[in-house]
Amino acid sequence: MIRSILLRLSSLKLSVVVLTLFLIIVFVGTLAQVDLGIYYARKKYFQSFFVFYDVGPLSLPILPGGYLLGWLFSINLTAAMLVRFKWTKQNLGLLITHIGLLVLVVGSGVSGAITTESQMAIEEGSTSYHSQHLRYSELVVVDTSDKDHDTVTAIPDTLLGKETLLQDKNLPFDINVIRYYPNAQLAMQPFHVDYPTPKISEDIGARMYVKPLQVFVRDDLRNSTSVIVELIDKSTKASLGTWLFSLDLVSAQIVDVNRKSYELNLRPIRYYNDYSITLNDFSHDLYPGTDIPKNFSSAITLKNSKTGENRETLIYMNHPLRIDGKTYYQASFANNNTISIFQVVDNPIWQLPYFACLLITFGMTLLFVTHLFRFLNRRKEQNA
């Protein structure tokens, strides 16, 4: 029974269909990056089980996504190895090549699911402990009363988007999310009152209106995520006012509860590290007499108070810094070459593709050598 199922799953026809569909989604997904940007195109075509297409009010699955094809391909390959391959010494090369292929496909699926990408922008002379996500945001409640450190309670936008009552033992108050805007435009009242905004009673929000906007998908546009919340005292259940927080409001707003002040702010999701990075110098070299960039490089100091690590290093094009599973690439710069921007990729299994390629190379070499010897032996026998 199991064998017959495996035989069907190991079908070569299935392999051909899956590989053809892979080609199609890579082609379509690459073209879609023009309109959707890299982030959303990758989510829609490669990091999904189905590619949906909107027809009127319906959202129909029109193509299998990268995850589904990856799984079909992996199952097909595994089944073939279990029931079709002859596990002999002569076939060892073939087996290793296929295992390498399997590691490559499964590894890319897993890394797509667990990798996080963020950016770190540092000005010359300043130090940073964190990088931040370009797409997702968080509402933070910061207790700054300790002289050495701040205590941050962070609520991700995925929770804010549910527009519900949020309670947590570490929060000094309950938060009732009244309205969440994935993207919005803020402006001072009394203009544009044609967009009804829930009443905001506190701080700068009381003088503003919020106009909902379509979410920007292009990579060069930033969404101004905003949220209107009511803060509720935990013990008395009394309202502490209605507040507006937005990525467009640069500074934190202060909320006083039980004679203690908290800073509240909506900001891009931050990923903190145990180490700090100080930008000593950013260089933007040009080819002499032209505006063509020759090199971008950042001289940094890396400090980790826990391990005592304290060293200087250089991050430049094709020479990233790898530390604690994170890779820092020189990505961009700003403010007249005084701010350096690093792309930070946190992928714990970044070595896997290299390992898979080594396996495939080794397997194919072994296969070639095995065949060569068989051929030479046969020839020797014929000549004898």
State the residues that interact with other proteins by CB under 8 A. 2, 47, 67, 71, 74-75, 78, 82, 106, 109-110, 112-116, 123, 125-127, 129-130, 136, 144, 147-156, 158-159, 166, 168, 170-171, 185-188, 190-192, 203-204, 222, 224, 247-251, 272, 276, 334-335, 338-339
Nearer to other proteins, 204 or 217 (CB): 204
Nearer to other proteins, 57 or 190 (CB): 190
CB of 190 to other proteins, least distance (A): 7
Residue type, 315: I
CB of 286 to other proteins, least distance (A): 19
Nearer to other proteins, 75 or 92 (CB): 75
CB of 166 to other proteins, least distance (A): 7
Nearer to other proteins, 119 or 313 (CB): 119
DSSP 106: H
Cα distance between residue 3 and residue 14, in whole Å: 17
Nearer to other proteins, 11 or 253 (CB): 253
Nearer to other proteins, 85 or 272 (CB): 272
DSSP 314: E
For residue 345, give every residue at least 6 positions away whose Cβ sits within 8 Å of its Cβ, in sequence order, or none: 115, 116, 117, 326, 327, 329
CB of 148 to other proteins, least distance (A): 7
CB of 67 to other proteins, least distance (A): 5
CB of 279 to other proteins, least distance (A): 11
CB of 251 to other proteins, least distance (A): 4
Cα distance between residue 69 and residue 341, in whole Å: 35
SS3 state of residue 64: strand
Nearest to 143 by CA among 131, 135, 134, 152: 152
Q: Are 247 and 116 in contact (CB under 8 A)?
A: no
Residue type, 259: R
Buried b (16+ CB within 10 A) or exposed e, 271-307: bebebbbbbeebeeeeeeeeeeeeebbbbbebbeeee
Rg of the chain over all Cα atoms, to the nearest angstrom: 28
Cα distance between residue 298 and residue 315, in whole Å: 5
Nearest to 270 by CA among 131, 160, 128, 127: 131
Q: Are 106 and 32 in contact (CB under 8 A)?
A: no
Nearer to other proteins, 215 or 334 (CB): 334
Nearer to other proteins, 83 or 299 (CB): 83
Residue type, 336: N
CB of 191 to other proteins, least distance (A): 4
CB of 383 to other proteins, least distance (A): 46
**What are the CA-CA distances from residue 276 to residues 126, 263, 312, 339 (Å)?**
10, 23, 12, 16
User: Structure tokens of 279?
Assistant: 């930008």
DSSP sequence for 370-382: HHHHHHHHHHHHH
Nearer to other proteins, 338 or 370 (CB): 338
CB of 144 to other proteins, least distance (A): 8
Nearer to other proteins, 172 or 363 (CB): 172
User: Structure tokens of 86?
Assistant: 């002859």
SS3 state of residue 279: strand
